[in-house]
Structure 1
C-alpha cells in the first residue's frame, strides 16, 4: 500500500532492512570495483567548475570558482515491521496496513526516491537513491541479458519502474523489497543489494513482470499514467504504461524501415497485459529508429516523438484517437500546462496549436533529454553541461558546467526538484541542486544511455501541479 505521509510528523515506525549479500553463485558482476560520490558547490546563477578533489566510496565537498553565466490526514503512516535477514535474501514480516484516517494529500515526496539509469552496455538498470547517492540495486532487464535497455519511467507513487528494452520487451521492477514477491516460497526476498550484486533474471524477486514483444525491431518510448487516485485507500489505482514499437524487417540496417509502420501499446501496470494496441501504418517511421521518446500530460494522454521523421504523435487516453504535428528534435516532455517541449528549446501549445522558440543562445543545445523542474525551468544539455529556459518567458537562463565534459544525454527531475544529468556512455551521473547548483556525482555506471522520466519528477509534476 502506498504510504500517506504528513511531512509535519515524524514517522512512528521505520522499515529497516539488513542488506546481506545473496552469495556469489549465479551472480553477475559489473564493471568496476567501487563507486564514487563527489559534491561540488557553485553559487546560483553561475557556472560550476569541475571538483578539485574526489572521494572514493564516500562524499567529498569542494567549492568551485564562479563566473557570470552566458545564458541558458491526518493519515497514519504505516511501515512494515522487520524480522531478521538471512544470507539468502531479505526476510520480511509485513504488518497489516492501518485503514483508518484519510490522506492529507495525494502528492508530495515519499520517504524514498530513486533514479533508475540504464547501463545499456551491460543490459542492466541501476537503482540509485537520489538523497544518499548510493546505488541500492542493479537488475538485468531481460532473461537473455540482451535487452539493451534505455528509457525508464517511474510510477507516480514511486513504487516501481517500467523499462523499455530497445531489443524488445517491457520490464517492471519494484522499488522496495516489501512490494516484491517471494517467488520460490522460501520466506525471503532474493534481490540485488548493490552494483556488484546482480542476480540472474529468473532469480531476481523484485522483477514484477516482463512482457515480450517478439515482433519488435525497436522499442524505446515508455511512460506511466497516473491512474485513478482512491481517497479511501490513499492509492493510485489502474495505472497504465504507454509504449511504442516498430515491427520492421529483422536484420535491416535501420530497425524502423517502414515494413509495417509502428504500433502504440497500453499495458496494464499491475499485470503487464497489453490492453490496447494502436497500429499507425500511415505515419512514417523516418527510416531510422522510429518511435523515440514519450511523455504523458495531466490527462494521461501520450506524446511521442518519431526520430528523423520530424513528427510528434498525440494519443488520447480516453478515446485512443491520435493525431500528428510537425516538429521534434530528440528529447520530449510535457509541462504542467500541457505544453510539449523538445530539447532544442521549443514549446508547442496544443490549445493554440502554435510553436514558440527560446530567446537567447545556449551553446550546443539539442541531442539530449529534456525536463521541466518544479520552478518551471526547462532543462536540457548544452556544451559541457546543462542549462535551462524559462517556460513562460522563453528566455534562456543559466548554464551549469558539469565535472565531465561529455554529453549529458539523459536529463531528468526527481520528486525533490533536483536536476539529474547522465553522461552518455561513461560512468557518471550528476545531481544538481535547483537553487545553489551544487553538484553531487555518482560514479559507478557502465555505459549508461538513459533519457526519460527516470526519477519520476515529470509525472508527479504534471499530475500534482496541473495548471492548464
Structure 2
C-alpha cells in the first residue's frame, strides 16, 4: 500500500528540496554525528516519509516530521503536479516548504563523452517501484519501503547522496559518464627524495607527502593485525618513479631502488582506508597544517610523518598501508619500473602489474594484500627485455614497453591467462620512448624521445592474437609555441576521452631544457591549438621559466586539464583550452613520473566504472533493513553491483568493516546477508562497462524495512 497523494508528494519532495535547500557537502565536524542544522530524509510514525534536522549540538537528529495533509479546496488545488495546480505546500522543520512535485531532470547534467544506455537485460525488482521521482514510502506502522527513482538521483547532495563518474540520462536514470569523478588528486614521485606527493588537482596544492616504503608487508600478522616485517626502510634510496591509482582510489608506488631492495607500496587515499597502528586516537597522517599548499619536510613542523626508528612501522604515516619487496637487492640496478592496473575481478580494486627492469620480469600483485599471484603457473612472467613502462587497455591486454631508449619495443601480455603473446612489436622508424598510454579505441601510444617531436600509435587487431597490427607516426617538428619555440624531444604521453593525445617535451629546438606541452587529434594528428589570453591561437604551450624545466610525464585530471610533472621541482596544470598554467609550490628537484598518476586512464578506458551513493534514515536505532531491489537495464559487457552499510551513527557509515556486498542479483536479502539493525543505511551502486558504446542504466531502487 502506498502513501496517499499528499503523503507521497511530501516524500517526493524530500530529495529535491531537502538536499538542495538544506544540504551541502560539508562533512560532520570532529566529535559530531551530523552537521548542526542539516536536514535529511527520514521515515516517521506510521511509515510516513519526511525530514529531520540535526540538533544544535550535532549529536543526532530531531524527531522525524512528515508534514500535514493539504486542504482540498475543491478545484483550485487538483492534486499538485499531476493536475498542474498547487498542492498547498508542506512546512518543513527548517522553515521551508515542500510544494509536492519534484521537477524531472532538466537534461543539463549530461556531459560530453558519456555513454548512452543500450538494449539489454532489464533488472526489475517489482517491489513497489512506481516510477515516480524522489522518495516514496509505505504506510504500515510496522515498516514500509523507501524508493528512489528517476529524477530523484542527486549527484551533489553532499554527504547524503552523490555520484562519481556517473551522469543523469535524459529519462532521469543514472548511467556512466565523465562527471563528478571522485579522485581529484595527482600522485607524483619525488625520485631524489624517496617520497611521494599528493596534489589536489582542483587547487594545485600539495595536500600530503609520504615516504615511498614502510617496513611491513600486507599479509596477516600473528597478532591478528596486518603486516609482517619486510626489511625495507623509508630513509633509504628507494627512488620511486611510477605511480598508479587503483579502482578504489588508493595509489601504488613502484620503487626502482637502484642500490637497495626493489618494492611496490600501497598508500590509502582516504582516511577510512588508512590503518591504525600506534594506538593513538585518530589517524596520524601527513597534512598541510599551515595551509600554504606545500608539505614541509621539517619533522618539527608536523606536516609529514618522520619515524625516529625507521624499522618500527608504528611510527610511520598510517595511510601507508604496506610495501611488497620484489626481485633481488642487487647494487646499481634499476628494480621496479613498469606499473599498470587492469580491471581485475568484479568488486576488487583491479589487478596490479609490475615490471622489474633488472630481472626482465612481470609480476601480478593482489590489490588487497600486495602479494604475488601466479602467472600461468609461475611466480612471474619473463620478457626478452627489461620493462620500463606499461598500460592496460579496455580489452585487458597489458602493453609493456622496453627499457631500451632505441629502438622502442612493445610486448603484449594476455592478463586473463598470464601469458606472453609476443614481445617484438617495433615502430617502423627508429625511436626510443619513455611515455606509454592507451586510448578509448585500445590503441597504444608512445612518445618519440630520440625521434624528436614525434608520437607513435600502434593499433593491434581486436583480441590477444599474435598477428601484428599497424603503426602510424605523427610529426610535430614544425609546431610553434607562444614563445616562438619548437619541440625537440617528446617524453611523456597521455590521452583523454575527447579523442586528443597530450605530449610533453623536455628540450626545445635550441637544445635547452624545457617544459612544453602539445595536444593533437588521435585520429587525424591535427593540432588542438590553445587560445592563450592576450596572445591568441598557438600550436602548443611552452611553460619554461627559471623554475619550470625538464617536463616528464603527463596525465589528465577530472576536469580534462593536463598535469605535467617537471624534474626541476614543480608540477603544473595546463588549461585544455586557454593553455593557462597553474604551477605548484616549488620543492626540491626530482619529480619523476610517467604513469597513470591521476587514475584517469584506468577509469575512462581500462575499466570504465562509476558509483552512486544514497543515505537513508529509518524509523529509529532499531530499524531492520530487509530487502533491496532495483530497476535497471544492464547491457552485455556492462555490470551493476550494490553495497549497503547500516549503522546507528552517521560517522560509522564510512567503516569498511560494516559494508555488505556486492549484491549482483535481486531481491537482495539484507537480513540474510548480516546487515545489522541501524537508524541509517548507506546504499551504493557500482556501474561498470567494458564496452565503448554501452552503459548500465539504474532507473530506481527500493529498500524495505521494519520499525522497532
Calculate the TM-score normalised by the size of structure 1.
0.70
User: Alignment partner of 2:603: what SS?
Assistant: helix
Aligned partner (choices 444, 452, 473) of residue 357 of structure 1: 473
Show the counterpart of 2:310: none
Sort the Cα spacing of 1:400 and 1:282 in 2 relative to 1 into closer, same or farther, 3 A. closer
Structure 2 vs 1, CA of residues 262 and 329 (structure 1 numbering), >3 Å: closer, same or farther?
A: same
Select which of 380, 387, 391 maps to 2:522.
391
Q: Provide the C-alpha distance between the structure 2 equivalents of 1:120 and 1:208, rounded to a whole number of angstroms.
A: 20
2:541 alignment partner in structure 1: 400
* 2:422 counterpart of 1:332: no
Cα distance in 2, alignment partners of residues 310 and 379 from structure 1:
19
CA RMSD, Structure 1 to Structure 2 (Å)? 2.9
The C-alpha deviation readout for 1:422-441, integer Å capped at 9, x for no partner, is 112x1211101112222111
Superposition pairs for residues 188-207 of structure 1, below 5 Å? 188-194=282-288, 195-196=295-296, 197-200=303-306, 202=313, 203-207=316-320
1-structure distance, mates of 2:205, 2:29: 15
Determine which structure has greater relative contact order: mean sequence separation of CA pairs < 8 Å that are 6+ residues apart, divided by chain length.
1
Matched-pair contact (CA < 8 Å) for 2:205–2:585: no
Query: 1:268 matched to which residue of 2?
Result: 366
Distance 1:321 1:226 in 2: 17
Where 2:199 maps in the other structure, the secondary structure is strand
CA distance in 2, matches of 1:282, 1:188: 45
**1:117 CA displacement:** 0.8
- The 8 Å contact of residues 169 and 219 in structure 1, kept in 2 or not, is answered as yes
Q: CA deviation at 1:368?
A: 1.6
Task: Return closer, same or farther for 1:433/1:282 CA change in 2, 3 Å cut-off.
Answer: closer
CA distance in 2, matches of 1:136, 1:365: 34
Q: What residue number does 1:292 align with? A: 388
Single out whichever of 171-180 and 200-209 deviates more from structure 2: 200-209
Q: What is the aligned partner in structure 2 of residue 31 from structure 1?
A: none
Counterparts of 1:219 and 1:329, CA distance in 2: 18
1:416: Cα distance to partner? 2.0
Runs (5+) with no aligned partner, structure 2: 1-15, 31-148, 161-171, 214-232, 289-294, 297-302, 308-312, 449-454, 462-467, 480-485, 509-513, 529-538, 609-688, 694-708
8 Å CA contact 1:330–1:366 kept in 2: the answer is no
Distance 1:238 1:282, change over 3 A: closer
Please give the residue correspondences for 1:313-324 in structure 2 after superposition, counting only pairs within 5 Å.
Answer: 313-322=411-420, 323-324=422-423
Tell me how far apart the structure 2 counterparts of residues 360 and 192 of structure 1 sit (CA, whole Å): 42
Alignment CA distance shift 1:17-1:414 (3 Å): farther
The answer on 1:211 being equivalent to 2:324 is: yes
Label 1:208 to 1:144 Cα distance change in 2 as closer, same or farther (>3 A).
closer
Aligned-partner Cα distance in 2 for 1:12–1:228 = 35
Q: Which runs of 5+ in 1 are unaligned?
A: 1-5, 19-72, 82-101, 230-235, 247-255
- The answer to whether 1:453 aligns with 2:596 is yes
Contact 2:400/2:410, CA 8 A, preserved across alignment = yes
CA contact (8 A) 1:359 1:396 kept: no
C-alpha contact 2:240 2:254 (8 A) present in aligned 1: yes
For 2:501, what is the secondary structure of its paired residue?
strand
Q: Which residue of 1 aligns with 2:338?
A: 221
Give deviations 1:320-367, integer Å, cap 9, x for gaps.
Answer: 121221245221110110000001211000117000011542543545
| 8 Å Cα contact 1:329-1:366 kept in structure 2 | no
Does 2:340 align with 1:242?
no
Q: Which runs of 4+ in 1 moved over 4 A?
A: 9-13, 73-81, 277-282
Task: Tell me if structure 1 keeps the 8 A contact 2:209–2:286.
Answer: yes
Quote the residue 1:441 is aligned against: 583
SS in structure 2 of the partner of residue 392 of structure 1: coil
Q: Give, in whole Å, the separation in 2 of the partners of 1:12 and 1:238.
A: 29
**Change over 3 Å in CA distance of 1:280–1:266 after alignment to 2:** closer
In structure 1, how many angstroms separate the alpha carbons of the residues matched to 2:550 and 2:239? 20
Distance in 2 (CA, whole Å) between partners of 1:76 and 1:184 is: 39
Is residue 381–residue 419 contact of structure 2 (8 Å, CA) maintained in 1?
Answer: no
Q: 1:151 aligns with which of 242, 247, 256?
A: 242
